[in-house]
Structure 1
Amino acid sequence: MEFKTGTTIKLEGGKSAKIVSKLGEGGQGIVYAVKIDGNDYALKWYTCKLSNKKEFRKNLQTNIANGAPDSKFLWPLYLTEELNGSFGYVMNLRPKNFVEFSDILNAKVDFPDTKTIVYAALNIVNAFRELHMKGLSYQDLNDGGFFINMQTGDVLICDNDNVTPGGIKNPGNVGGKPGYMAPEVFRGDTFPGVLTDRYSLAVILFKLFCLHDPLMGKAYHESICITEKREMELYGTHPVFIFNPQDDSNRPVPRIHSNPINIWPRLPQYIREAFITSFVDGIKDRNARLHDNEWQKKLLRFLDEILVCPICGSEHMIYKFNAGQPMNFACRHTFSYPRILHVKNYSIPLFPGSKIRMCHINTDSDDYIKIEGEVIMNKNNNALWGIRNLGEITWTFSASDGQIRTIEKNNVVPIAQGMEINFGNTTGKVEK
């Protein structure tokens, strides 16, 4: 069934949605732009035959009643009444400045810089961390479920109709998409849950960074025909990570798989190790897969270690330079190696433009978005750097004369070796 423009669809609770236009179509149904009380929304209408329709509908009703686990989810807002044996649900529209993840993988659009890619990865991880903390699992992570703002790294996640409490099979019997499903789900050994979400999340992150499938290498390329049997071997019974350090049978093929070959060596060692853990140990042992908060810490470190030249804006990775030695950037500008602020479990390079985030200095927070401070460079002397307090809490530090001085909002403290800064409920120390 396909609706014409102007058709009115009744919603549970008494409201109604008016069809404005058709936005797209997939395997499960059709998505329409609709108007409700004069406001714009999207309506997904199921055109496929739903197994366990009663339970599927009830699960949607529960998710609507509980609300979204995070603002990054285009969460179901209203459920329609049944019509001719089917129904749909209403969600917020995706803003026009968000692009489909599949467009990124197909090289239709590019990120402006590495920082934005890392922000996108952080936002994806954080969204699923919030989902999992509420006892839910997504169960169907794939490239069609993500929209990303290419300029900011902001993320929106759709297709939330299969979200189900962890450990419970989703009533839609959806296992996922080949290449994204955990091997045990692909084999049919288990149904999706939080542990299989963790595998699928690692796939999403690998594809985001390397623009390639983590299991698609020589073995896939040399397959004469990808039959169901062969696909089962590649993704289910004998999956091999393309950068498995103990097994080189499925390496990326030169001139065919250029993206992973070129990008992998540029990633920080701790990010590569995280992927190796996910796709070597994690393929065999579900409990070995990285938790969401482990990914968040590694990605935040990655973000902190990207240095942006304050003169030309080009990006440089701190791990490419020797500690304590002058840094000669590829853009031909030279700077001193930055001192490091050690606070909580973070080590933040204090380079012009570096951010002090709420999660860095507040023991009760994991908020990496809110900026509490920023390293600035003296306009008249490129060698003089300081930290500006951008938050509401007054900081204190021990000056060279032994006196305790304060750093109120918008004030700047010059960076000095050995100085200790009290940020309110944490103290950080500046060292080489």
Structure 2
Amino acid sequence: MEFNKGQIINLEGGKSAKIISKLGEGGQGIVYSVKIDGKDYALKWYTCKLSNKKEFKKNLQTNIANGAPDSKFLWPLYLTEEINNSFGYVMELRPKNFSDFSDILNNKVRFSSTDTLVTSALNIVNAFRTLHRKGLSYQDLNDGNFFIDVGNGDILICDNDNVTPDGMKNAGNIGGKPGYMAPEIVCGKSHPNSLTDCHSLAVILFKLFCRHDPLMGKAYVDSVCITEKREWELYGAKPVFIFNPHDSSNRPVAGIHPNPIKLWPRYPKFIQDAFIKSFCEGLKDPNQRLPENEWQKLLIRFRGTLLKCPHCSAELCIALVPPGDTLRFDCGSSYSYPFALEDGKHKTPLFPGAKLYSCLTSKNIDDYLTVTGEVIMNKNNSSLWGIKNLSNKIWTFTTKTGELKKIEKGSVIPIANGLEINFDGITGKISK
């Protein structure tokens, strides 16, 4: 059944929603724009037959009562009363500045920078880290779940109706979307859980970075017809990563798969290695899949290697340039290989415009968004660089003469080889 504009839908708890317009339609149901108490929301109404409606509905009610695990989730807010043996739930509307993930995969919209791309990946990883920490698993992770602001990397996650306590099979009997499901689900050896979420997350990240399916290469192209059995082989029984270093049988095909061929070499080895582990060892052993905190560390490291040219704004990943080599941009600008800040966990290149974040300057802090420092250039001498303290913490360093200097917010630490800086519980050493 479909609703008409102006129709009133009663909600559990006494409120009501007024239908404004139809926003879209999928395999499970129809999404409408509605108003509740004068505010705009989205209503998802189920048009499919739910195999275990009572348990499915009970799980939704529990999730509504517990609230969203993270602000990035467009979480169910209200359940509707039933009409003709069906029902729906209300969630926040997606703001207009967010794009469908599928539009990013199809190159209809593009990120403003590689830095923004990495930030969006960090936001996705962190949202699922929070979800899993709360003892929940998503169970149906795919490209239709994400909206991304390509201008700043912010993300929103929708279709959260299958989120279930980890280890418990979702009441909707949803295994996932083909291409995103872990091999053990495809083969019927497991139901969705946090470890299968980790596989789906790696697929999402690979598609975000390479705009392509990690298991779709020559073997897929050579299949005359993708039958259910052939799909079972490619994604379940005999999956082969397209960049498997020990098996070249499923490489991307030139002229058919341009995106991964073009994009894969643009990423540093430590990012490539993470995908290789995820889609080689991780395909066979779920415990070898990278957890979210490992992805977070790698992505923070990657973001720290991105150098932006102050003249043409082009980006360069200095992890792809051998240490000591000159950094060159297409506009003709060139720079010496920069200093780096090392703290035992991270090695962050220091160059004008580079930023430090809370996770790099404060002990036991995961915050990768709050900027606490920035590398600036002396206005009168371009060869003199320094780190400006943008945090509310006092940093200290010892001069060559042994004097202890305090650096408060707004003050600058000169960048010099061998200098040690005491941040907020973290000590970093500058090296060339």
Tell me the TM-score range normalised by the shorter chain.
over 0.9
Deviation at 1:336, TM superposition (A): 2.3
CA contact (8 A) 1:181 1:200 kept: yes
The aligned residue for residue 120 of structure 1 is 120
Deviation at 1:68, TM superposition (A): 0.7
Is 1:211 equivalent to 2:211 in the alignment? yes
CA contact (8 A) 1:344 1:426 kept: no
The aligned residue for residue 349 of structure 1 is 349
Q: How does 1:127-276 map to 2 (within 5 A)?
A: 127-276=127-276
> Which whole-Å CA distance do the structure 2 matches of 1:231 and 1:334 have between them?
49
> Which whole-Å CA distance do the structure 2 matches of 1:173 and 1:320 have between them?
45
Q: Partner letter of residue 299 of structure 2?
A: L
The aligned residue for residue 56 of structure 1 is 56
- Post-superposition Cα deviations, 1:189-247, rounded to whole Å, max 9, x if no partner, equal 11000000000000000100110001110110111111111111111111111111111
Q: How does 1:73-88 map to 2 (within 5 A)?
A: 73-88=73-88
The aligned residue for residue 366 of structure 1 is 366
- Post-superposition Cα deviations, 1:124-172, rounded to whole Å, max 9, x if no partner, equal 1111001011010000011110000011111100000000011100001
> Which whole-Å CA distance do the structure 1 matches of 2:401 and 2:61 have between them?
65
The DSSP-based 3-state class of the residue aligned with 2:421 is strand
The aligned residue for residue 14 of structure 1 is 14
Deviation at 1:344, TM superposition (A): 4.9
Q: How does 1:38-53 map to 2 (within 5 A)?
A: 38-53=38-53
The aligned residue for residue 383 of structure 2 is 383
Q: Partner letter of residue 20 of structure 2?
A: V
Query: Which segment is superposed worse, 334-343 or 72-81?
Result: 334-343
> Which whole-Å CA distance do the structure 2 matches of 1:100 and 1:189 have between them?
32
- Post-superposition Cα deviations, 1:359-378, rounded to whole Å, max 9, x if no partner, equal 11111210000111111112
Aligned length: 432
- Post-superposition Cα deviations, 1:291-313, rounded to whole Å, max 9, x if no partner, equal 11001101111100011112321
Q: Partner letter of residue 395 of structure 1?
A: W
Deviation at 1:343, TM superposition (A): 2.0
Q: Partner letter of residue 55 of structure 2?
A: E
CA contact (8 A) 1:148 1:154 kept: yes
> Which whole-Å CA distance do the structure 1 matches of 2:321 and 2:257 have between them?
29
Is 1:423 equivalent to 2:414 in the alignment? no
The aligned residue for residue 72 of structure 1 is 72
CA contact (8 A) 1:344 1:363 kept: no
> Which whole-Å CA distance do the structure 2 matches of 1:106 and 1:425 have between them?
44
The aligned residue for residue 94 of structure 2 is 94
CA contact (8 A) 2:363 2:424 kept: no
Query: Which segment is superposed worse, 22-31 or 115-124?
Result: 115-124
Is 1:26 equivalent to 2:26 in the alignment? yes
> Which whole-Å CA distance do the structure 1 matches of 2:389 and 2:44 have between them?
46
Query: Which segment is superposed worse, 132-141 or 104-113?
Result: 104-113
Query: Which segment is superposed worse, 216-225 or 331-340?
Result: 331-340
CA contact (8 A) 2:112 2:152 kept: no
> Which whole-Å CA distance do the structure 2 matches of 1:145 and 1:67 have between them?
18
The DSSP-based 3-state class of the residue aligned with 1:3 is coil
> Which whole-Å CA distance do the structure 2 matches of 1:320 and 1:264 have between them?
12
> Aligned Cα RMSD in Å?
1.1
CA contact (8 A) 2:306 2:317 kept: yes
Is 1:304 equivalent to 2:310 in the alignment? no
> Which whole-Å CA distance do the structure 2 matches of 1:160 and 1:323 have between them?
45
The aligned residue for residue 4 of structure 1 is 4
> Which whole-Å CA distance do the structure 1 matches of 2:426 and 2:413 have between them?
17
The DSSP-based 3-state class of the residue aligned with 1:161 is coil
What TM-score, normalized to structure 2? Answer: 0.98
CA contact (8 A) 1:387 1:412 kept: yes
CA contact (8 A) 1:344 1:360 kept: no
The aligned residue for residue 313 of structure 1 is 313
The DSSP-based 3-state class of the residue aligned with 1:162 is coil
> Which whole-Å CA distance do the structure 1 matches of 2:421 and 2:143 have between them?
44
Q: Partner letter of residue 182 of structure 1?
A: A
- Post-superposition Cα deviations, 1:65-124, rounded to whole Å, max 9, x if no partner, equal 111111110011111111110111110000001010011111211112211111111111
Identity of aligned residues (%): 66
What TM-score, normalized to structure 1? Answer: 0.98
> Which whole-Å CA distance do the structure 1 matches of 2:175 and 2:344 have between them?
40
Q: Partner letter of residue 373 of structure 1?
A: G
Q: Partner letter of residue 175 of structure 1?
A: G
> Which whole-Å CA distance do the structure 2 matches of 1:424 and 1:208 have between them?
34
> Which whole-Å CA distance do the structure 2 matches of 1:394 and 1:310 have between them?
29
> Which whole-Å CA distance do the structure 2 matches of 1:340 and 1:360 have between them?
13
CA contact (8 A) 1:242 1:251 kept: yes
Deviation at 1:401, TM superposition (A): 2.4
The aligned residue for residue 291 of structure 1 is 291
In the TM superposition, structure 1's runs of 4+ consecutive aligned residues that sit over 3 Å from their partners are none
Structure 2: segments with no counterpart, 5+ residues: none
> 1:393–1:399: structure 2 CA closer, same or farther, 3 Å change rule?
same
Is 1:281 equivalent to 2:281 in the alignment? yes
> Which whole-Å CA distance do the structure 2 matches of 1:322 and 1:60 have between them?
52
Query: Which segment is superposed worse, 316-325 or 48-57?
Result: 316-325
Q: Partner letter of residue 288 of structure 1?
A: Q
